[in-house]
Amino acid sequence: MGTELWRCLRVGDWCLLALSVLLWAVLTHWSWQQPGATRVRIYQDGQLYAELDLLAQRTLAVPGPLGATVVEVRQGKARIAQDPSPRQYCVKAGWLQQAGQAAICLPNRTSIELTGQQARPYDSLSY
Amino acid sequence: MTASATDSATQRLQVTAQDHQIARLAAIAIALAVLESGIPSPIPGVKPGLANIVTLLALARLGWAAAAWVSVLRILGASIVLGGIFSPGFALSLAGGACSLLVLAAAQYLPRRWFGLVSLSLLSAIAHTAGQLLLARLWLIPHNGIVYLIPILLGMGLVFGLVNGMVAEQLLRRWPAQADLQERDA
């Protein structure tokens, strides 16, 4: 029964089905691609501490209440390299490279957020 | 029978056998659309579109004009029955239906030897999704975030388009062309 049902598809039907699936794959790839990030904003205690270009390679130590949080920027990506926070969540967030991604070191009141060409769809985020 | 406006004689509409067939098909399509609205959908707006099987059969048997009538009558009829006529959902239905009819107008000339109803169904499903997304982007959600919905909506559209096309192809084989002639005699 199953094979009989598939036999009602003609040659053109199969070609068109393959083309449709290809179109779907291409559109999926295109539409789920996040816009790339260009800059990283570093916040300390709610205030903008620094804004760096992601293409510039540098390491920045941001002083906080517990000590220094080290932000590393390299090849269009950014990460928290070191942080005095006990659970190290922001360090475990790893490298960020898409606009809108963020890593937050709550105990040390420091966070980084990547921004892209487009305006953010929201005004601000509160933690 | 006269067409004069001053004459009080009632005008009689000439109802052809094809009008009857269109009405019958549209009624089946409306019933399918109403039945389908009772199926719970995990994602709002994703429907199997079973009524399109009827549109495809109308196209194959009676031609594009009949298919367009069946489709438009189904959209109007189903939204009257279900409520929400002239609502955004109705506008989306109409946009999808219009787009898919336009594509079918061109696709009906594909050589039947190689392209069956499955091809027409797939093309119609793609056009339907495209028309709806375009209207939604221009009018309802004027934000590019809507592109994230394309993979889901188009994917489901293709799956249901394939299934509907196969069902329509099977029905077409079980519904011989002589059936219309018999009905005309009856």
A112 lies in a domain?
Answer: yes
Per the structure, how many domains does chain B have? Answer: 1
Q: Are residues A59 and A99 in the same domain?
A: yes
- Which residues, 6 or more positions from B109, have their beta carbon under 8 angstroms from its beta carbon? none
* Other Cβ atoms within 10 Å of B132 Cβ, number: 24
Q: Please report whether residue B70 resides in a domain.
A: yes
Asked if residue B181 has pLDDT above 60, the reply is no
Assess: ipTM above 0.90: no
| CATH assignment of the domain containing A104 | 2.60.320.10
What CATH number is given to the structural domain containing B54?
1.10.1760.20
Of A13, A24, A31, the CB nearest to B148: A31
């130590």: which residue's tokens? A61
Inside any domain, residue A92: yes
Task: State the SS3 of A27-59.
Answer: HHHHHCCCCEEEEEEEEECCEEEEEEECCCCEE
Q: What mean pLDDT is reported for chain B?
A: 88
Range of the domain at B120: 17-180
Mean pLDDT of B143-148: 80
B43 found inside a domain: yes
Higher confidence at residue B116 or residue B177?
B116
Listed in sequence order, the residues at least 6 apart from A75 whose beta carbon sits closer than 8 Å to its beta carbon are A55, A57
Q: Please write the tens of the pLDDT for every residue from B2-23.
A: 555 555 668 888 899 999 999 9
Assess if residue B2 is contained within a domain: no
Task: Specify if A111 maps to a domain.
Answer: yes
- Cβ contact (<8 Å) for A9 and B123? no
Q: Place A15 in a pLDDT band, splitting at 50, 70 and 90.
A: very high
Number of domains in chain A: 2
Inter-chain contacts counted by CB atoms under 8 A, chains A and B: 66
Which residues make Cβ contacts (< 8 Å) with residue B172, sequence separation at least 6?
B57, B60, B61, B117
Q: A18: domain range?
A: 2-31
Give the pLDDT of residue A32.
79
Q: Is residue B63 within 8 Å of residue B22, measured between CB atoms?
A: no
Q: How does pLDDT run across A85-119, given as a tens digit for each residue?
A: 899 999 999 999 888 888 999 999 999 998 887 66
Higher pLDDT, B115 or B149: B115
